[in-house]
Structure 1
Amino acid sequence: MSRLVIVSNRVADPRKPAAGGLAVALGESMKKTGALWFGWSGEIIEEADGGVPGEGRLHTEQAGNIELVTVDLCREDHDAYYLGYANGVLWPVFHYRLDLGNYEPGFAEGYRRVNELFARKLLPLLRPDDQIWVHDYHLIPLAANLRAMGCRNRMGFFLHIPMPPPLITATIPHQEWLMRTLFAYDLLGFQSDADLLNFSHYVQSEAHADVLPDGRYRAFDRTVQAGAFPIGIDVDELIRLAETKEGSQMFKRLREEYSRRQLLVGVDRLDYSKGLPQRMRTFRELLTRFPENKNSATLIQIASPSREDVDAYTNIRTEMEHLCGAINGDFGELDWMPIRYIHRTVARKRLPGLYRASRVGLVTPLRDGMNLVAKEYIAAQDPEDPGVLVLSRFAGAAEQLKEALLVNPYDIEHTAKVIQQALHMPLDERRTRHAALLQRIKDQDIHWWCRTFLDTLANLDLPPLLLDAK
């Protein structure tokens, strides 16, 4: 059986509890065949080996039969590749925030340089029958660099963030080169049918690609298969977490403390894509338009720190603190604060108890590739007395979770009305909606996602060809 090679910006030890969703998803497949996981070490060295950018040193660690290999980045490469092109250009543009893009000359060159570094360091570690799976926007051109160096392995790529429409994609500096490099892969995976459609429209309009049967596209003398593979969660693990000591204690404590209240919950990274200021304004509208919620509805909003060295994130933190303070000042009582705002990371083992204690889960991003909090909220509910998920139609999860209450987070007034509907939804309707949602996330869980993508890649009848990466 072929060895699995995973390449991502960061590497996590799948044996550790805090390894994250990708490690959980891939752990089962990696343990079966043995695996190599390659990526950035997280270390920034002030000067690269020999004083030359792009020459980071390798580190190797064994995790059972999984080899973890990482490479250091020098300051210049990190700032141009990670802070610059990946998170200063691709992240905002792919989330439709053209106004927040930082199009400084030199970022694209640093992005190319680090992807070439990854390819150069990875290539000697590969075996002829390895199956390679590359993850996310940081490493889009990696396959093209590997092909140029002679690699003929099967390679798949999965985009964890949204794929924007053609005209938005066209604003990316060097977008022609970037999109061309996608054709060095054998299989492209997207979170949703909408993302796949945006890719299809782009390559037809900009690259004049031929659309072939069975989801294949032909351009640049290469054929690539593309499909939607919505990522899921480990539903059974989440249910177990809800029943652990920490999860149960959190649930009981919140139920006792808020026995006279109705809890709403939001759990997000503090990111401008998550629609948090709009959510706070919507909660204010809920209290204003439906005053019976005063001294009753309480929103617990967890906003985990994220990229705090970037101006856009500093600005949204300031805005959130101002909004939450103003709402609590205008509506709060001595024994009731409308919003409990927490700007830190809450332990994962405690979250299921928080989800289960909340009558309404608010997942209202302005744009999101998938959003797994929506699925976690569903999995954590008591089927006999479940809460209601209010979900942005602009989250990738909305394609699967149609029984949630779907909203446009830009429409503050209407979203407030939908939240009111969720707070007063009859038990029978809550049970019916939850049963359908729970079955769907079980059918398409994280193991289904991993298995489906890798089986599709392994069974493709597309011999790899060399591609000029320039």
Structure 2
Amino acid sequence: MARLVVVSNRVPVPSAKGGTAAAGGLAVALEAALKSRGGLWFGWSGKTSGDREIEWLEIRDHGNVTYAVADLNRRDVDEYYTGFANRALWPLCHYRLDLTDFSRKDMAGYFRVNRSFARLLAPLLRPDDLIWVHDYHLIPLAAELRHMGVKNRIGFFHHIPWPPADVLSTLPVHDTIMRGLAAYDLVGFQTDYDVENFAGCMIREGFGKSLGHGWFESYGHKFQVGNFAIGIDTQTFVAMAEEGMKNSIVKRTCDSLRNCDLVIGVDRLDYSKGIGQRIEAFSRFCEMSPSAKGQVTFLQITPKSRSEVPEYAQMQRDIAELTGRVNGSLGDVDWTPIRYVNKTLGRGALAGLYRIAKAGLVTPLRDGMNLVAKEYVAAQDPTDPGVLVLSRFAGAAREMDGALIVNPYDVEATANAIGRAISMPVEARRERYNSMMPKLLEHDVAAWCRDFLDVLSANEEFEPEAGLRALN
């Protein structure tokens, strides 16, 4: 079996005691895939090294996995990460042209860092390695490796939405971005909508042509494209939610609610998550439902994110002010309608909080998948499950047919959905839960890894009559 090489923007290097630095589902799944094959995990350490250029790697073996990480200097972080990746590509892919800030200096830094990563990675590669690159930070990496003579099978998975041609073409270097994707052997997206958007960009802008059955040809290279919906570690999360009921944070929350129904939202602080619209919708629900006063509480957990980016710092102030206004106008001395928490909670505590919440609000304005939606459902008590209220613009809406699907821009309709979720009879809630849970168990994060790597490792040549194996 070929060795697996995973490349990601950040690498969760195990601590000296053996614990994994990041306990997220994706990190756990990728680590499991690496351990099963033996492999290499390469990327940024997350550390900043002053003004020093990227010249060396820290390499650490842990079992049969080798972790290879590089520090970035302040200029690299400003241009590659904060600049082009998160002020140009991120808003563009989330359809926020009003927030897309293109700078040629940042663009140059983005390609420079990818070139440096390729230069450091290439000597570590073996001829039969299978290389899997993750997310928008590293789109040009395959092209840089190809320039260095690397002929390995290289796959790319795009975790966030892919925009339509009219949106992508506003980026001055969109042709270079498309050329970068065409250097991969397999490009994966979250949903069939993303695949359709990519195909539209490729064909309408004249970058290549569709050969049918998920195959494309661009810049003289044939490659495959497909949708692979990412899942969660479902069984583990179910057990975590059951155990989470004993968590001290969950117990304190239950005590403080005093029999109020809990509605929960959990999001990183980001303008794509629709947090402001969600707070407005909950406020409208309270206004429309006088009986909700003192009986329903909304808990919004929102860890700070990318505070160095001005748009995020402003959003943090705006959300805090909006929450204060709602609580000031609707609250009472013994009831706070919205509890707004700006810190990270452990996954065990989150799982327990999901389980006690009667409704989960997952209402992003645009999202590649959104695993909070899947975690909320997995955390529920099968005998008395809560109801998921889910944005139609989250990739998860393509799978979670038991959710109440809403348009997050329609505050009134979202408010009505909150009321419907809170008052839904237990039989209807069980029916919705039972329609989603088997899918979460079957299409978990391990299956996602397996499906992608099976296609990437197949090393198929394009055959006009052959379909793309293993793609949904």
TM-score interval for Structure 1 and Structure 2 normalised by the shorter chain: over 0.9
Q: Aligned partners of 1:409, 1:12: CA distance in 2, in Å?
A: 34
Deviation at 1:426, TM superposition (A): 1.1
Q: Aligned partners of 2:454, 2:377: CA distance in 1, in Å?
A: 28
**SS at 1:7 equivalent:** strand
Deviation at 1:250, TM superposition (A): 4.7
Q: Aligned partners of 1:399, 1:250: CA distance in 2, in Å?
A: 33
1:4 maps to what in 2? Answer: 4
| Conserved 8 A contact 1:247-1:349 | no
Q: Deviations over 1:68-118 (max 9, x none)?
A: 001122222221111111011000110111111111221111111111000
| Conserved 8 A contact 2:183-2:221 | yes
Bigger shift: 284-293 or 273-282? 284-293
Deviation at 1:45, TM superposition (A): 1.9
| 2:363 maps to amino acid | T
| Conserved 8 A contact 1:233-1:445 | yes
Taking the TM superposition and a 5 Å limit, the aligned residue runs for 1:46-445 are 46-49=50-53, 55-244=54-243, 247=246, 249-445=248-444
**SS at 2:213 equivalent:** helix
Q: Deviations over 1:177-223 (max 9, x none)?
A: 11111111000000111111100111010135221232101121111
Structure 1 unaligned segments of length 5 or more: list them: 50-54, 464-470
- Alpha carbons of 1:293 and 1:245: their partners in 2 closer, same or farther (altered >3 Å)? closer
| Conserved 8 A contact 1:261-1:297 | yes
Bigger shift: 20-29 or 182-191? 20-29
Is residue 458 of structure 2 the alignment partner of residue 454 of structure 1? no
| 1:16 maps to amino acid | T
Q: Aligned partners of 1:418, 1:43: CA distance in 2, in Å?
A: 43
- Alpha carbons of 1:253 and 1:76: their partners in 2 closer, same or farther (altered >3 Å)? closer
**When the two structures are superposed, what TM-score results if normalisation uses the length of structure 1?**
0.95
| Conserved 8 A contact 2:43-2:117 | yes
Deviation at 1:18, TM superposition (A): 3.4
2:43 maps to what in 1? Answer: 39
Deviation at 1:251, TM superposition (A): 4.6
**When the two structures are superposed, what TM-score results if normalisation uses the length of structure 2?**
0.94
| 1:379 maps to amino acid | A
Is residue 26 of structure 2 the alignment partner of residue 22 of structure 1? yes
**SS at 1:423 equivalent:** helix
| 1:316 maps to amino acid | M
Q: Deviations over 1:21-48 (max 9, x none)?
A: 3221112221111110000111222222
Q: Deviations over 1:202-247 (max 9, x none)?
A: 1010135221232101121111100000000001111111122665
1:466 maps to what in 2? Answer: none
**SS at 1:122 equivalent:** helix
| Conserved 8 A contact 1:247-1:352 | no
Q: Aligned partners of 1:210, 1:102: CA distance in 2, in Å?
A: 30
Q: Aligned partners of 1:330, 1:450: CA distance in 2, in Å?
A: 48
Q: Aligned partners of 2:70, 2:31: CA distance in 1, in Å?
A: 21
Deviation at 1:252, TM superposition (A): 4.6
| Conserved 8 A contact 1:80-1:111 | yes
Q: Aligned partners of 1:17, 1:151: CA distance in 2, in Å?
A: 30
| Conserved 8 A contact 2:247-2:348 | no
| 1:302 maps to amino acid | I
Bigger shift: 11-20 or 137-146? 11-20
Structure 2 unaligned segments of length 5 or more: list them: 463-472
| Conserved 8 A contact 1:13-1:68 | yes
**SS at 1:269 equivalent:** coil
Q: Deviations over 1:414-445 (max 9, x none)?
A: 11111111111111110000011111111111
| 1:45 maps to amino acid | S
Bigger shift: 390-399 or 65-74? 65-74
- Alpha carbons of 1:446 and 1:460: their partners in 2 closer, same or farther (altered >3 Å)? same
**SS at 2:302 equivalent:** strand
| Conserved 8 A contact 2:242-2:379 | no
| Conserved 8 A contact 1:191-1:228 | yes
| 2:225 maps to amino acid | A
2:13 maps to what in 1? Answer: 13
2:468 maps to what in 1? Answer: none
Bigger shift: 19-28 or 100-109? 19-28
Q: Deviations over 1:335-372 (max 9, x none)?
A: 11000110111111111110011000000000011100
| 2:382 maps to amino acid | P
| Conserved 8 A contact 1:7-1:133 | yes
| Conserved 8 A contact 1:265-1:360 | yes
Deviation at 1:331, TM superposition (A): 1.1
Q: Aligned partners of 1:96, 1:436: CA distance in 2, in Å?
A: 31
Q: Aligned partners of 1:300, 1:212: CA distance in 2, in Å?
A: 49
1:467 maps to what in 2? Answer: none
Bigger shift: 3-12 or 207-216? 207-216
| Conserved 8 A contact 2:232-2:375 | yes
- Alpha carbons of 1:143 and 1:462: their partners in 2 closer, same or farther (altered >3 Å)? farther
Q: Aligned partners of 1:318, 1:164: CA distance in 2, in Å?
A: 28
- Alpha carbons of 1:271 and 1:43: their partners in 2 closer, same or farther (altered >3 Å)? same
Q: Deviations over 1:292-351 (max 9, x none)?
A: 111111000001110111111111111111111111111111111000110111111111
Q: Aligned partners of 1:97, 1:435: CA distance in 2, in Å?
A: 36
Bigger shift: 242-251 or 130-139? 242-251
Q: Aligned partners of 2:192, 2:291: CA distance in 1, in Å?
A: 40
Structure 1 consecutive aligned stretches of length 4 or more whose deviation exceeds 6 Å: none
Q: Aligned partners of 2:46, 2:295: CA distance in 1, in Å?
A: 45
Q: Aligned partners of 1:386, 1:246: CA distance in 2, in Å?
A: 14
| Conserved 8 A contact 1:123-1:146 | yes
Q: Aligned partners of 1:384, 1:248: CA distance in 2, in Å?
A: 21
Q: Aligned partners of 2:203, 2:312: CA distance in 1, in Å?
A: 35
Q: How many residues align?
A: 458
Deviation at 1:396, TM superposition (A): 0.6
Deviation at 1:462, TM superposition (A): 3.6
